[in-house]
Chain A
Amino acid sequence: MYSAYFDNFTKKVPLTPEERELIQSHLSVKKIRKKQYLLQEGDVCKSIAFVEKGMLREYSLDEQGGEHIIQFASEGWFISDMYSFITAEPATYNIDAIEDSELVMISRSSHDYLLTNCPKYETFTLQLITGAYLAMQKRLNSTIAASLESRYESFMALYPHIAQRVPQHMIASYIGLTPETLSRVRRRIASNKG
């Protein structure tokens, strides 16, 4: 129920049994089925979710109803609308399950409590945010500077396990292409290789 969460945690920051117990008492576990929402735009994001099993995605909707995926989260990843979580303002993103999933959730009050009372939790959080920041920079650079082919190829290289589990139109949305453009890009890559 919590094993992937604590594996992930202790790989970064080792814990004593007492610290683990304290942290676990502040977590909650939740199962969510494919296509169910964890968060809908307009509601306040009340927790950060860690994926023990399954896969979720986070996306915004444009005025035409187009989906723009900003993040996938499979086993070992965290997902939330951080802006809404921190400010308690309405969320601008939607989060839903692409597969039946098992989550470990932490609420804002528990998160704040552990940040103040458990230095190891603070260290872990700092590492998470640093990692997320680096990944975000990379993603931003790839979106504004890389060719379409290399955007697709670096996604496939970085996230082969996700690519296998999500439909093409979601990959297209994640790298900022229409599904039609993505098929053209894939054909070009295939013919260059062939």
Chain B
Amino acid sequence: MLFLASRQWSRGKRHGTFALSKANKMKTKQTIAIIGATGNMGSAISQSLAKGNYRLLLHAPHEDKLTTLVHTIKAAHPSAEVESIDCSKQASWEADIIILAVPYAAEKEVADKIREVANQKIVISIANPLNATYNGLVTDATTSAAEELQKLLPNATVIKAFNTTYAADFAQPVIDGKQVDAFVAGNNEDALQTVSDLVATAGFNPIVAGDLSVSRTLEGMQLLLIQLTMKYNYNWVAGWKVLHN
């Protein structure tokens, strides 16, 4: 567990925290497409959002893995509306919200496929553009994975979220008695609220950190967390918690 002093955040414009009880109160079921659903993060996110009032469309390249995942989710949440779909464009076309849970290097390929149907929709960037040895990022300091995705999908509303939480944290969003914080960044208030609701449904404490360019910091925070995890052997269950009054 990592603690971060709140001083450096206290001047932030929006330091919104949303209690778990405020998680999505919308009656109309929103459809979420999860691209790369069978990966570490994709399956963790899918399983934890299956608790909420969402309809999940899961897509990944290998159908056998997808079928297993859908069975696992339905066994744990019999009333969940979840199905696999063999085309990322179809999934995104039906979706209100799209989560890209693919490796950073695959984002361009996926963006090319879904561009037309992602117009004006929320697209969640969870990527950390790590280099092969985990000692740096492949993006330069003037940009971030989220901002690069926004360039690839100019008419979508890209929101950064879920990048500072490990896949294993989803099964355990409370570590050492404290609910892990999860930062959300983006340029559209409505979309930030919607994504904060998702984060709360997954069991984390959402904190709106700022506009999309704040993703540079958020992606850097995960780089640091990974380095600390390896150095101090946190066993990939670790997260950030802002201490404040």
Give the interface of A toward B (CB within 8 A).
1, 24-33, 36-43, 46, 105, 107, 109-110
A-B contact pairs, 19 of them (CB 8 A): A1-B116, A1-B117, A24-B119, A25-B154, A26-B120, A27-B120, A28-B119, A28-B120, A30-B93, A31-B93, A31-B94, A32-B94, A37-B28, A37-B29, A39-B28, A40-B27, A43-B26, A43-B27, A110-B120
A25 and B155 contact, CB distance less than 8 A: yes
CA of A41 to CA of B119, assembled, Å: 26
CA of A185 to CA of B95, assembled, Å: 43
CA of A24 to CA of B116, assembled, Å: 10
CA of A110 to CA of B157, assembled, Å: 12
Which of B26, B29, B119, B190 makes the CB contact (< 8 A) with A27?
Answer: B119
B94 and A43 contact, CB distance less than 8 A: no
Q: Is the interface of B mostly helix, strand, loop or mixed?
A: loop
A29 and B93 contact, CB distance less than 8 A: yes
CA of A38 to CA of B155, assembled, Å: 22
Which residues of B are found within 8 Å of A1, using beta-carbon distances?
116-117
CA of A25 to CA of B115, assembled, Å: 11
B28 and A38 contact, CB distance less than 8 A: yes
Which residues of B are found within 8 Å of A30, using beta-carbon distances?
93-96
- When A29-B93, A31-B93, A32-B94 are in contact, do A42 and B27 touch as well, CB less than 8 Å? yes
B28 and A43 contact, CB distance less than 8 A: yes
Give the interface of B toward A (CB within 8 A).
26-29, 55, 90, 93-96, 116-117, 119-121, 154-155, 190
Which residues of A are found within 8 Å of B93, using beta-carbon distances?
29-31
- When A31-B94, A32-B94 are in contact, do A40 and B28 touch as well, CB less than 8 Å? yes
For A30, A36, A107, the residue with the greatest tally of chain B CB atoms inside 10 Å of its CB is A30
A191 CB to nearest B CB, Å: 45
A37 CB to nearest B CB, Å: 5
Compute the total of residue contacts between A and B using a CB distance below 8 Å: 44
Which residues of A are found within 8 Å of B28, using beta-carbon distances?
37-40, 43
B42 CB to nearest A CB, Å: 22
CA of A5 to CA of B120, assembled, Å: 16
Which residues of B are found within 8 Å of A29, using beta-carbon distances?
93, 116-117, 119
- When A30-B94, A30-B96 are in contact, do A107 and B120 touch as well, CB less than 8 Å? yes
A93 CB to nearest B CB, Å: 12
CA of A109 to CA of B29, assembled, Å: 22
A69 CB to nearest B CB, Å: 18
Which residues of B are found within 8 Å of A37, using beta-carbon distances?
28-29
Closest to B194 in A: A46
Which residues of A are found within 8 Å of B95, using beta-carbon distances?
30
Which residues of A are found within 8 Å of B155, using beta-carbon distances?
25-26
- The list of the 5 closest CB pairs from A to B, nearest first, reads A28-B120, A40-B27, A40-B28, A31-B94, A28-B119
CA of A39 to CA of B29, assembled, Å: 9
Closest to A110 in B: B120
Known: A31-B90, A36-B55, A110-B120. 10 other contacts (CB 8 A): A1-B117, A25-B154, A26-B120, A27-B119, A27-B120, A30-B93, A37-B28, A40-B27, A42-B27, A43-B26
B113 CB to nearest A CB, Å: 14
Closest to B55 in A: A36
A108 CB to nearest B CB, Å: 9
Which residues of A are found within 8 Å of B154, using beta-carbon distances?
25
A13 CB to nearest B CB, Å: 21
A39 CB to nearest B CB, Å: 6
A118 CB to nearest B CB, Å: 15
CA of A25 to CA of B118, assembled, Å: 11
CA of A40 to CA of B26, assembled, Å: 9
A194 CB to nearest B CB, Å: 46
Which residues of A are found within 8 Å of B27, using beta-carbon distances?
40-43
Which residues of A are found within 8 Å of B116, using beta-carbon distances?
1, 29
A25 and B119 contact, CB distance less than 8 A: yes
A88 CB to nearest B CB, Å: 11
Closest to B91 in A: A31
Closest to B121 in A: A28
Which residues of B are found within 8 Å of A36, using beta-carbon distances?
29, 55
